Structure 1
Amino acid sequence: MYSIKEAFYTLQGEGMQAGRASVFCRFSGCNLWSGREQDRERAQCRFCDTDFVGTDGEGGGRFANAAGLAEHIAGLWPFAAGAQGATPYVVFTGGEPLLQLDEALIEAMHQRGFEVAVETNGTLTAPAGIDWICVSPKGNTPLTQTSGHELKLVYPQQGVSPEHFADLDFDHFLLQPMDVSHMAPSSQPRHDNPLQATLDYCMTHPLWRFSLQTHKIAGIA
């Protein structure tokens, strides 16, 4: 059984794949926060800006097996003249997708011609077969998935620094300013200006590429 908060067709807004047409499949649940605002202050990850509770979002629901979910996701891709030449692409995200994403679902998506991406907090090991692994570490949590295609660190975070990850086996290192607009003052980072802090760090540490949440700027999902 897979529990899906929402599934929808959009453009990837972050990281090295920004701008790419994608189906986003958001799993319900996370191992670092319950998703309830009353628990945010006690959570291991306090800055999440995503609703991953339940299965009531657009395209959400419960799916009994990998084939059923894969068919649902495939139905969201525009298999039409305008999509010719584009490889179908699905991004599994959350919450924490590796609580549910497994080899059966990855294989079911591959059988339907999709490239498979995952956006994970890195506390769980990814199953085999994923085509693009994006790890976004969270402060004061153990990092189990220490290799992948991109490491995208939200900055600044208490208890974690970019230097902790610079020697890991990733193709790309991205630094993304923390969005504090939805956070209570007690949960916000101590730095007054996360955007400027991120710019400054990338300028002085060129291993790291500056990353923005372009979907928020463009006003898309």
Structure 2
Amino acid sequence: MDVKIVKETKYRVKSVWKTLQGEGLFAGRPAVFVRMVGCNLWSGYADTRERDAARTGASCPMWCDTDFTKEGSKAYTASELAKEMRSKGGDINFCVVTGGEPLLHLDAALVEALHQAGFFIAIETNGTVPLQEACWSETHGKLLAPDWIVCSPKLPQEELTLEYFDELKLVLPDYHPKNYQAFAQRQRYNEVQNNPLPLLWLQPEDGTRLQEATQMAINYALDNPEWRVSVQTHKILNVE
């Protein structure tokens, strides 16, 4: 009788570290961050910025400063990664899985392992990978999704396949609310004191256009109070 050997999935991780969440609803909250390798919009290497921007139609390759390349990364099984996160984070039960694009890696098995380890799972995604594709569990016959989803889209709304999100973050000036009105309706509303809490953020691009983008964000929020201006508190506090 042949014995079928099932290999465990391994997840390519750039880094795991303890820090404070810097943006959004959970700004200031202690967190364990996990940065996955790779993105479907940019290779992560400077010499491919123009090529990838032309290939994908996204502007983010031209200014993204995140290092999600494979150099220095490590492969973990789901249980190994959960153990490493617990080792780095101690008693911290809030984790943020980011990238690159985390839904290229995060799946039902990893979600289940992190939940079993006691983590509340937040992710930061560009909205181009559907949850049903990434996190459907054949074993359980249902979706095992992250607990909290922050979407920062980098393609036009008609190309976004993410079914829902909890927070929407648009990086100005390239990604403007007027171009994401339909997509914004996919937000899950969370109740606070019996009132819906819209978590729609305007994030000024941190580069040569910062002053222009900041003023644009302020002006738009003042005229459209369902939107908020996002402040990168981790940079103010000088934490990674």
TM-score in terms of structure 2 length: 0.78
Report if aligned partners of 2:21, 2:30 keep a CA contact under 8 Å in 1.
Answer: yes
Report if aligned partners of 1:29, 1:96 keep a CA contact under 8 Å in 2.
Answer: yes
Q: Which aligned pairs between 1:16-165 and structure 2 lie closer than 5 A? A: 16-42=25-51, 43=53, 44=58, 45-46=60-61, 47-56=63-72, 60-63=73-76, 65-79=77-91, 88-126=93-131, 127=135, 128-140=144-156, 142-157=159-174, 161-165=179-183
Percent of matched pairs sharing the same residue: 44
2:17 is matched with which residue: 8, 25, 29?
8
Report if aligned partners of 2:15, 2:35 keep a CA contact under 8 Å in 1.
Answer: yes
Amino acid at match of 2:207: V
Report if aligned partners of 1:9, 1:23 keep a CA contact under 8 Å in 2.
Answer: yes
TM-score in terms of structure 1 length: 0.84
Report if aligned partners of 1:156, 1:178 keep a CA contact under 8 Å in 2.
Answer: yes
Task: In structure 2, list runs of 5 or more residues that go unmatched.
Answer: 1-9, 136-143, 190-198
Higher helix share goes to which structure? 2
* Greater RCO, CA 8 A, separation 6+: 1
Q: 1:203 to 1:136 in 2, by over 3 A?
A: same
CA distance in structure 1 between the aligned counterparts of 2:30 and 2:211, rounded to whole angstroms: 34
Aligned twin of 1:168:
186
CA distance in structure 2 between the aligned counterparts of 1:147 and 1:13, rounded to whole angstroms: 22
1:218 matches 2:227: no
Question: Which deviations, in whole Å up to 9, do the C-alpha atoms of 1:13-71 show, x marking residues without a partner?
Answer: 01111111000000000000000111112323323221000152xxx5111x2111111
4+ aligned runs moved over 4 Å, structure 1: none
Please identify the structure whose Cα radius of gyration is greater: 2
Q: Note the C-alpha offset of 1:193.
A: 0.5
Task: In structure 1, list runs of 5 or more residues that go unmatched.
Answer: 80-86, 182-187
CA distance in structure 2 between the aligned counterparts of 1:168 and 1:158, rounded to whole angstroms: 17
Q: 1:149 to 1:66 in 2, by over 3 A?
A: same
CA distance in structure 2 between the aligned counterparts of 1:167 and 1:112, rounded to whole angstroms: 33
Superposed CA RMSD in Å reads 2.0
Report if aligned partners of 2:154, 2:175 keep a CA contact under 8 Å in 1.
Answer: no
Q: 1:175 to 1:158 in 2, by over 3 A?
A: closer
Question: Which deviations, in whole Å up to 9, do the C-alpha atoms of 1:117-150 show, x marking residues without a partner?
Answer: 1100010012223110111101347111141211
Aligned twin of 2:141:
none
Name whichever of 124-133 and 30-39 sits farther off.
124-133
Report if aligned partners of 1:151, 1:170 keep a CA contact under 8 Å in 2.
Answer: no
Q: Indicate the SS of the match to 1:219.
A: coil
